[in-house]
Structure 1
Amino acid sequence: MKTKSFLPSMVLVAFLASPALSFAYDEQDEKTIRADVAKMKAATLKHDVKSIMPMMPQAFFDTLSKETNTPISKIKQEMLKQGEETARDAKELNASLDYVIHWKKQRVLKSKTGRDYVLLPTTTRLNGLEIKGNLIAIKEDDGKWYYLQYQPIFKSVIQKAYPDLKVLPK
């Protein structure tokens, strides 16, 4: 009489219970990202950097701090200062600002470790000048989404903070 092996069943159960699958991108993720992006857009149009910072991933700040040998508090302080200066300049110039997300061109991706992330092409319009970019939405291990407006100057920082991301904007 042959004994039945439970090993294939155990492997299947372990695979199905893995974190990569438990955080698979779904309709709720889409709704969350759209709601978060709406909040970020409203804050961006008001030059309200303070409201956007909590939506940025801690791993980015940790890595940027390490790479620049600058305390995180100082980095955030400088970001706030730049946001305030930009807002003041825009007000003085009576600048017209718009921030557009190209939802139909979004790319939902999975990292080497199974982390979900999304590349969202953007266009920022300032007094008729158009700047093309990308917003990166990254799902952390806690299941929460965090966001970075991609800039080539930060590519190496993002790659060090998230070495598992396979594709980044050019």
Structure 2
Amino acid sequence: MPYTPAEDSYLTLEALEELSSGDLCVDVGTGSCMLAEALLGKCRQVVALDVDLEACRSCPREVDVVCGDAAEALRRCDVLVSNLPYLPPEEPLDIAIHDLGIVPKLLRWVAAHRPRVVVFTFSSLGRMEHLMDALRAMCRVTRISKLHMFFEDIITVVATCPQADAQNENGAGPTPP
């Protein structure tokens, strides 16, 4: 069943409203497809990724959908958005259903492909500092939005990354920020 938009989705949506346009925008873990739909007005092409077949079916025709764990198949994008399940699993079956390694995979993908903008939403209950340190090592954090809820903070981070095809003065590629 697709994720029903909640406060975290709307916090991410607010961050997307301030983005400039792009050619290719990708929503990883699209859930309800709400964030991918919001990108339609800003991007020439929008791709939504999710492992849940029902989530994939929830997207409108204007959104290109990849149903499965396919972030590694992407070579480049201008904007990468992700509001993945971020709470630690409570039941053993949750571990089997949710890929706990998706955030490290996404961070490796960002390191390799350097999208122009990254928008991640996560919980203070997760490994927030590790995620922030990794993003800061690769990109420049331009916005942090927080929403306090009961026992946690929901955080949306927007970061701009140096482009992978940019050359430094030695011709050796981008200089880390």
Using the size of structure 2 for normalisation, the TM-score is: 0.23
- Structure with higher helix content: 1
- TM (normalized to structure 1)? 0.24
The structure with the greater share of residues assigned to strand is 2
Q: Which of these two proteins has the greater Rg computed from alpha carbons?
A: 1
